[in-house]
Amino acid sequence: MLEVTDLHAQVVDMEDGEILKGLSLKVNPGEVHAIMGPNGSGKSTFANVLAGRTDYEVTAGDIVFEGESILEAAPDERAHKGLFLAFQYPAEIPGVRPWQFLKAALDAKHEANGEKKLSVRDFSKLFDSKVDEVKINPDLMKRSLNEGFSGGEKKRNEMLQLAILEPTLAVLDETDSGLDVDAMRIVSDAVNALRSPDRSFILVTHYNRLLHHIKPDVVHVLVDGRLVETGGPELAEEVERDGYKRFLEEHAPASA
C-alpha cells in the first residue's frame, strides 16, 4: 500500500530547514498505524508531504503508493489514487458550499479513474446519508466550507469528506486535537466504520487519547524527523504514562 524510504524533506528554499531526516515506513492494506511524537518532531510535515503540499520539498528518499512513486504527483493526483489527508487545521473557504465542493471532488476522482460520475440525485442521497452518519449539523452544510465551524465541527466535516471520498489510505493529522469526548467518539466511529481489509490509516497524534477509540495495529514514535521506535499499542501506553522523555534522551540530537 504505502512504502516510504529514507524520506528527507524541508521547507522550500529554507537553509538548514530539514524537518524529515530519513523517515522510513511501510503500511500494508488494512493496517492502522499511529505515528506519535512530541511537538516539532515532524508529524504534521510528514502528513503534509504525503499529501503533496508544495510548501515542502523532498530532498531525498521516495514515497511509493500503490506500487508507484508519487513524489512528482500533484495533490489532486494523489487524491485520485486514493490518498486522503484529514487536516489538523482545515482551511475556511468563503463562498464554496460543502455539497458543491464534495461533488466536484468526487466527480474529479471518478473521472480520473475512468469511472462514471454520480448524478446530482444520487450524489445528494449519498451526501445526506453521510451527513447523517457523521452527525454533522445539516445547517452547517448551507454555509461556506468550514466558515464559522467550531474546531469539532471542522473535524467532523473532515470525517464527512473521508466517508464520501472513500480513500484507500487516510492520514489523520492530529484529528483528536481540540476535540471533546463526544466529538472524539464521532471521529473514531467514522474511522472504525471505514476500516476494511483494503483500507489503511495513519493516525498522526501527540496523545494516546484517540488510540483508546481506534486500536492501532502498529505504533511508531517520531523524534527529530525519524521513526525511532516501532511497536504495538504498548508503545502508545508508554507514551501516555511517561511522555516522550526517554525517546528524546535516546534519539534527539545533542544540543550544542
Partner 1 sequence: MTTTAPPSTIASYERDFLKHEDRADWLSELQRQAWTEFEKLGFPTTRRGNELWKYTDLRRLDSQAFNLSEAASMAASGELSKIAPWSDDWHSAVVIDGRFSPDLSRNVESAGVSISDFASTADSLRQKIEPVLGSLATVEDNAFVALNTALFQSGLLVEIGDDAELDQPVHILNIVSDGPDHRAIYPRTLLIAGSNSKAVVIESFVNLSSGPQLTVPVFEASLGAGAELQHFRVQLENEQSLHLGTTRSEQPAGAVFNSTTFATGPAIGRNDVHTNLAEEGAETTLHGLYITNGQSHQDNEISTTHHKPHGTSHQFYKGILAGKSRAVFSGKVLVQPGAMKTVAEQKDLNLLLSHGAEIDTKPSLEIYADDVKCAHGATAGHVDTSMLFYLMSRGIDRQDAAKMLVTGFATEIIDEFEPEPLREFLYEKLDQIVPKLDSEGIL
Among 58, 64, 105, 248, binds partner 1 (CB under 8 A): 105
CA distance 5 to 26: 8
Distant-in-sequence, close-in-space partners of 254: CB < 8 Å, separation ≥ 6? none
Q: Cβ of residue 256: shortest distance to partner 1, in angstroms? A: 34
Q: Closest CB to partner 1 among 86 and 235? A: 86
Among 6, 17, 40, 76, binds partner 1 (CB under 8 A): 76
Among 64, 118, 165, 194, binds partner 1 (CB under 8 A): 165
Q: Cβ of residue 172: shortest distance to partner 1, in angstroms? A: 13
CA distance 213 to 236: 13
> Which ranges in the chain belong to alpha helices (H)?
43-51, 75-81, 98-112, 120-133, 151-165, 181-194, 209-213, 233-242, 245-251
Among 24, 144, 168, 230, binds partner 1 (CB under 8 A): 144
Q: Is 108 in the site for partner 1 (CB under 8 A)?
A: yes
Q: Closest CB to partner 1 among 42 and 52? A: 52
Dihedral, CA atoms, 19, 88, 173, 61, nearest 10 degrees? -30
Q: Closest CB to partner 1 among 72 and 234? A: 72
Helix axes 98-112, 151-165, angle to 10 degrees: 30
Q: Is 161 in the site for partner 1 (CB under 8 A)?
A: yes
Q: Rounded to the nearest 5 degrees, what angle is found at the Cα of 36, between the Cα atoms of 34 and 39? A: 150
Q: Closest CB to partner 1 among 99 and 207? A: 99
Distant-in-sequence, close-in-space partners of 61: CB < 8 Å, separation ≥ 6? 4, 5, 6, 7, 8, 22, 23, 24
Q: Which helix (H) or strand (E) holds 180?
A: none
Q: Is 216 in the site for partner 1 (CB under 8 A)?
A: no
Q: Is 55 in the site for partner 1 (CB under 8 A)?
A: yes
CA distance 198 to 10: 31
SS3 243: coil
Q: Closest CB to partner 1 among 102 and 235? A: 102
Among 20, 36, 106, 227, binds partner 1 (CB under 8 A): 106
CA-based R_g, the chain, Å: 18
Q: Closest CB to partner 1 among 13 and 249? A: 13
Q: Is 71 in the site for partner 1 (CB under 8 A)?
A: no
162 neighbors 194 (Cβ within 8 angstroms): yes
Instruction: Please tell me the count of residues contacting partner 1 according to CB under 8 A.
Output: 31
Give the range of 9-17, 46-54, 135-143, 240-248 binding partner 1 by CB under 8 A.
Answer: 46-54
Contact residues for partner 1 (CB under 8 A)? 51-55, 74-76, 78-80, 84-85, 87, 90-91, 93-96, 101-102, 104-106, 108-109, 112, 144, 161, 165
